[in-house]
Chains A and B, each alone.
Chain A
Amino acid sequence: MKFGVVVFPGSNCDHDTFFALKGVLHQETVYLWHKNHDLQGVDCVVLPGGFSYGDYLRSGAIARFSPLMQEVREFAERGGLVLGICNGFQVLLELGLLPGAMLRNKNLKFLCQFVHLRVENPETPFTRRSRRGQVLQIPIAHFDGQYFAPAETLSDLEAHGQVVFRYVDETGETTEKANVNGSAASIAGLINRHGNVLGMMPHPERASEALLGSEDGRLIFESLIQS
């Protein structure tokens, strides 16, 4: 499986994601420079975390205009696998590849911590190695992670199994406290209707080695590798 990690100016999890894919999981991985129009024949495009263009206007709002995003959109529309992590998720929302928007966290602070996620849909290329209801420990690190979408969009998402991850407590229950950023329906990760574009706020690349406190993030990469 060949992965491509997009580098925007201001990306700061590009090296981490590259390391998890190549150094830990031994997959062929390349960087994709945002100014180029070349996906280098990758099987999966990863939009990494960070602060693309400083995110001064609105998270991901400028990055969507990067030259490479034209190819990424076409790639996604052809059914290519696209994974957006944190800032990458925000860019996917701005691109319109996923519905909804991100607001500031409910406590109006940046939050960096481990959270518990419940797998809601294991029948995706990103989660096929997991079980429905499995609880994963993966960290978040964001300021704008409160997912928002109108009620009809939310029910549409639920109806089509597009909610892939939810914030839960350690027993797997959704609670107000466990929903640390205040996301609508505790949504932590979403997939498009077609099932090839996933956006998630938590960072699986930060949970890919025991030394870092959790290996649960590997499940997402390993699911992709298997597909």
Chain B
Amino acid sequence: MIDPKLLSDHNLTLEEYERIVSLIGREPNITELGIFSLMWSEHCSYKSSKVHLKKLPTKGKYVIQGPGENAGIIDIGEGLAVVFKIESHNHPSFIEPFQGAATGIGGILRDIFTMGARPIALLDSLRFGPLDNPRNRAILDGVVSGISSYGNSIGVPTVGGEVYFNECYSKNPLVNVFCLGLAEKDKIFYAKAEGAGNPVLYVGSKTGRDGIHGATMASAEFGKETEQKRPNVQVGDPFKEKLLLEACLEVMDKGLIVGIQDMGAAGLTCSTAEMPAKSGTGISINLDLVPQREEGMTPYEIMLSESQERMLLVAKKENVAEVQRVFGKWDLDAVDIGQVTAGRNLRVSFRGETVVDVPVDAVVNLCPIYRRPSRKPAYLRTVQKLDLPAVAQNYSAALLKVIASPTIASKRWVFRQYDHMVQTNTALLPGADAAVLRIKGQKKGLAMTLDGNALYCYLDPPAGGAIAVAEACRNLACVGARPIGVTNCLNFGNPEKPGIMWQFKKIVEGMAEACRAFEIPVTGGNVSFYNDTEGISVHPTPVLGIVGLIDELDRLVGPGFKQAGDSVVLLGENKEELGGSEYLRAGFGLERGRPPGIDLDKERAVQEVCIEAITGGLVRSAHDPSEGGLAVCAAESCILGGEDIGCVLDLDDEIRPDALLFGETQSRIVVSISKTRLPMLLNLAAKRGVTAKVIGETGGKDLIIRQGGREIARQSVRSLFEAWENALPEALLVR
């Protein structure tokens, strides 16, 4: 029967088990134990994070749906809404990179179309260990191929994202996937199981033994035996999902269903428990009717399977035949496996016997909530101390080195494997500050970005959390978009360690403060704890997915210089801040110091000036200095314009030259503008109290940077381009 070994195999503590017994008034059988273990796993229950996540602002005038559903929803006017969400697929992607990443895409897509939205964009934030390690190269290759295979096949463009490299991700890569869909406001669907007697329909792939315990696997640390968990990773079938997508959108468009939920993590268990829990009902299903891929599956296996590309629908009886006709058109079965009940239990029968009979509330809502102890970790004091390297005379070589650091270098090798143009809405190709999509038939555009500097978070958790939000918003400002909603994926180590819990708490607080300053609601997200392998945790890595609106898309600008003879203007100020910079990390192996400071009011003012300048048609390009600082920002503007336009920057800040070039001071945006329009921009900035200064002029074939009249760095745009463009392919060559 149920013994300590069985409990520990299910990642349940003795206290949790005792709570289950008292909630259901008896000992659970093995299937019921499996159900509780999944739904009470960290991955499904948020039991360690809930108390802190409450601090994030979730309300706003345009919020249609906040946290708690498959995805968040924001009203964008004219009868339309955007539905978006981010999810992690870290653990499976380490074990089996291709399928792990592919099924991550499949899962996030289902979260979006479950709500009645057609997915129109995918973005992903990927973090890997250094590429001199062959295992890391294989993981990168597998993850990118997996995303490419699934997203390309189903026909949803992967329009942006980010790729970071750091030793801390060597045995724990992060794969966070974001999807955004477009829905008609009055045709949004929820995970509801209303109306006792309504049939429960199973659609999509057959249930197999794959993915059993996926959610529990993602809720524990990895050890040396992790590779043996490969059978826990599911296998994706994008073609099946494409059919499911079209069929689901068709039955929803025709108004044939009451509620719908995908079977992702925790499969049939999650959908049959969550849907009635939300509606104050129960569900009764017969497992003999569940389509099965193999013979001899037990109730435990059927309930816990995480086979992909499956959905659960609730429909009115009179609509079942029509629902089945639509699914039949797409060569899919819709099988009646049970019904909604008035009682509040999940009841499951198998070969004439009741094998599960538990209150849905106990499963879904009564998982213990933990206030885990947190303590400021000791490492902070050490790493915040920084001895700067000596000042040099010439930084031309350093510039080439920084721009070729894999984190900064061109990601073309990655994104050209993704179909980023399908659906013909992509207005800015990948590589810009944010992804921009048009909405067919409208003047408006949508912008979105994923961002999060984990090194800042490691060095100073509260500041790191705030900067992550500010920087993501700044990316949007660079394309003229105002932020309207946030989703986030919080990747951390083991929350049972007080130091990790402290990082989590402080970063969430930093994010909350910044979201309030920008007045943007958080509409959902995902927490991924236990990103530890062999006792080593990843840097705390919050990934912010922020969506913005552009009023008039025909005023869109990109990051690249467009014309010689334009003025280059810096909005914001340069400061001597080198802590946490990519320059120190890539050049000197130093992950130290305090990250740059952040003043949220100033930040907002700078962004507002940039947005107004773009909306007013004043500027020809906008780009923000982030990793690599002002020098890399200017170099990228030279490269990304497509015309090889150089520039000369004449700076007079009296700070260390390396800090001037590569420091990552926040609240700065570099724009280029014609001389005739320059006074209007300076005026606009003055009105908002933002420092705006002409720092140079575009032209020539070189990037030249002077400080106090003395040249401190020079490179030809060609050589910058080659270093930047070739870095990643060269790092991936088999040696």
Contact = CB atoms under 8 A, between A and B. Distances in A.
Interface string B402-423: 0000000000000111111111
A112 B418 contact: yes
A23 interface: yes
A9 B421 contact: no
A185 interface: no
B155 A13 contact: yes
Contacts of B553: 211
Which secondary structure characterizes the binding site on chain A?
mixed
Contacts of B440: 19, 23
B426 interface: yes
Given A16-B424, A141-B152, A213-B429, A111 B417 contact: yes
Interface in A127-184: 139, 141, 143
Interface in A186-227: 203, 205-206, 208-209, 211-213
A9 B243 contact: yes
A51 interface: yes
A35 B157 CA distance: 27
Contacts of B154: 12
Nearest to A16: B424
Contacts of B415: 112
Nearest to B152: A110
Contact of A9 (B148, B242, B419): B242
Given A16-B424, A141-B419, 7 more contacts: A51-B152, A51-B239, A55-B239, A111-B417, A206-B424, A208-B424, A211-B427
Of the candidates B153, B419, B424, the one having the most CB atoms from chain A within 10 angstroms of its own CB is B424
B242 A112 contact: no
Nearest to A112: B419
B550 to A, nearest CB: 12
B424 A54 contact: no
Contact of A16 (B145, B417, B422, B438): B422
A111 B416 CA distance: 5
A53 interface: yes
A203 B238 contact: no
Of the candidates B237, B239, B422, the one having the most CB atoms from chain A within 10 angstroms of its own CB is B422
A206 B240 CA distance: 25
Given A23-B440, A51-B153, A110-B152, A12 B422 contact: yes
Nearest to A203: B421
Contacts of B417: 109-112
A221 to B, nearest CB: 13
Contact of A112 (B237, B239, B329, B420): B420
Contacts of B62: none
Interface string B532-564: 000000000000000000000100000000000
A15 B155 CA distance: 11
B584 to A, nearest CB: 34
A212 B421 contact: yes
A209 B554 CA distance: 12
Interface in A11-35: 12-13, 15-16, 19-20, 23, 35
A111 to B, nearest CB: 6
B518 interface: no
Given A9-B330, A16-B422, A16-B424, A113 B155 contact: no
A66 to B, nearest CB: 12
B601 interface: no
B300 to A, nearest CB: 31
Given A9-B330, A54-B237, A109-B417, A211 B438 contact: yes
B424 A10 contact: no
Identify the 3 closest CB pairs spanning chains A and B, nearest first: A12-B155, A54-B239, A51-B153
12 contacts: A10-B243, A12-B242, A16-B424, A19-B424, A20-B424, A23-B440, A54-B238, A54-B239, A110-B149, A112-B419, A113-B416, A206-B424
